[in-house]
Amino acid sequence: MREREWMDKSSYTYGLHGTPTTFTLEERLCEIEGGKHCVLVPSGLAAIAQVNFAFLKTDDEILLPDHVYGPSKVLAAGELKNFGITCQYYDALNPDDLSQRISSKTKLVWLEAPGSVTLEFPSLMELIKRCKQKNILTALDNTWGAGIAFNAFDLTPDAEKNWGVDITVHALTKYPSGGGDVLMGSVMTHRDDLAQTLKLSHMRMGQMVGANDAEMVLRSLSTMRMRYLAQDSSARAVSQWLSTRAEIAQVLHPALPQSPGHAHWKALTCHPSSSPTGWAAGLLSVMIDARFTSQQVDAFCDGLNIFKLGYSWGGPMSLVVPYRLQTIRSQEQTHLQKGHLVRFAMGLEDADDLINDLQQSIAKNLKL
């Protein structure tokens, strides 16, 4: 027992330091994403919190993209503010806005690609470049990419300099789990110095997961790429169909040429040797024409049979959620059409069945 060192994870010491099963999952996740060190936590939000609490202290400041995952904003306005950590929001589609907000207090910049719910795709390489020029730590919520769409730690492998991120977090609840039946998150880095700080904070906060849950995620990893591709394919088919509907003012999906940030998505994910058509996951959102009422939009969502109401995604069941844009954004969204925001998450159902489901509910509920 005295000879064992818990931080190198070469041997089992205590459950909160990890188990052989969680060590295996951490190693597999690193292999998929290209990281070197990984810790597991109880959820995706716990992963975000773990990064903030490990690397921030009183009088520090973080910068969040305005399109960041909503609970991350709530965390910043709650616990981080209570601990004396300030926060600013920047426009992820405008790297100059990020540069102007970085100050001597800025210690961490969060990135999201694409944006939560509205799915606009920023220039990750340019945002990271601006941070590295000022020696600012970067962390990416890479749940959407899942380590499949692009290599977050090596975004420019053919360039002289690599503008990869320092840290990634995942909601393993989504694609790695794949069944909609496990809550889990991960924090990963390829830097030894950051890993030391991360592991110590992780141990002190007791943010470990159960071995049985880790086993369930391990079981699902071998099918993750196949499931990702299937849901990606369905999302593209549904997006194309929705683009033809007069009831829809705008379709938000990174693979659509008219979607905000499409060029950034294409540059990052489309490579002849790996994926000529890119990876775009199974999420899409729409702005339903402003002529309809919010009650009609709710009735449309309620009228769907295959799509179920639900916030999560990445599982076998297709889901739909209507959002009020003004409650999840603090800045003006000039790249979005006026209307009602609705997000869809593709499951593993047939794409034609999903389109038919949308068609019948539109016909019944979206009438002028």
pLDDT in tens, 174-221: 999 999 999 999 999 999 999 999 999 999 999 999 999 999 999 999
291-331 pLDDT, tens digit per residue, is 999 999 999 999 999 999 999 999 999 999 999 988 888 87
* 3-class secondary-structure state, position 319: strand
Strand partners, 340: 288
* Same-domain check for residues 311 and 165: no
Residue 235 has pLDDT above 90, yes or no: yes
Q: Are strands 185-189 and 283-289 parallel, antiparallel or unpaired?
A: unpaired
Report yes or no on 1 lying in a domain.
no
CA 342 to CA 335: how far, in whole Å? 16
Q: Domain for residue 119, yes or no?
A: yes
Last residue within a domain, chosen from 188, 221, 254? 221
pLDDT band, residue 2 (cuts 50/70/90) = confident
pLDDT of residue 10: 79
Query: Same domain for 111 and 215?
Result: yes
Mean pLDDT, to the nearest integer, of 66-90?
Answer: 97
pLDDT at 273: 62
Q: What is the CATH number of the domain that holds 114?
A: 3.40.640.10
Instruction: Please check whether residue 109 lies inside any domain of the structure.
Output: yes
158 pLDDT band, cuts 50/70/90, is low
Shared domain check, 44 and 176: yes
Nearest to 284 by CA among 251, 248, 315, 306: 251
| % residues pLDDT > 70 (the chain) | 98
Q: In the listed set 187, 221, 255, which residue is the last one of a domain according to the structure?
A: 221
User: What pLDDT, on a 0 to 100 scale, did the predictor assign at position 160?
Assistant: 53
Count of other CB atoms within 10 angstroms of residue 318: 26
Q: Report the percent of the chain where pLDDT is more than 90.
A: 87
My answer on whether 144 and 91 are in the same domain is yes
What per-residue confidence (pLDDT) applies to 270?
86
- 336 belongs to a structural domain: yes
Euclidean distance between CA atoms 3 and 16, whole angstroms: 18
Q: 160 or 62: which carries more pLDDT confidence?
A: 62
> Which residue in 50, 53, 55 sits closest to 39, CA to CA?
50
Q: CA 298 to CA 290: how far, in whole Å? A: 13
For the residues 109-122, what does the mean pLDDT come to? 97
Residues 104 and 198 in one domain: yes
Q: What is the mean pLDDT of residues 323-347?
A: 91
> Residue 72: CB partners within 8 Å, gap ≥ 6?
45, 48, 64, 110, 141
For all residues of the chain together, what is the average pLDDT?
94
Whether 208 and 249 share a structural domain: no
pLDDT at 162 over 80: no
Average pLDDT over residues 48-53: 98
Say yes or no: 57 and 202 in one domain.
yes
Question: Domain tally for the chain?
Answer: 2
Residues spanned by the domain of 357: 224-365
Instruction: Please tell me whether residues 112 and 146 are part of one structural domain.
Output: yes
| Same-domain check for residues 106 and 197 | yes
Nearest to 106, CA basis, from 80, 129, 87, 130: 87
pLDDT score, position 210? 93
Domain finish residue from 199, 221, 243: 221
Same domain, yes or no, for 41 and 107?
Answer: yes
CATH of residue 257's domain is 3.90.1150.10
- Residue 20 predicted with pLDDT over 70: yes
Residue 159: is its pLDDT beyond 70?
no
pLDDT at 360 over 70: yes
Phi, psi of 201 (to 5 degrees): -65, -40
Residue 16's pLDDT band (cuts 50, 70, 90): confident
Same domain for 322 and 259: yes
The reply to whether 270 falls in a domain is: yes
> Which pLDDT tens digit goes with each residue over 242-284?
999 999 999 999 999 999 999 999 999 987 666 778 999 999 9
267: in domain: yes
- Are both 208 and 239 inside the same structural domain? no
Amino acid at 56: L
Higher-confidence position of 326 and 339: 339
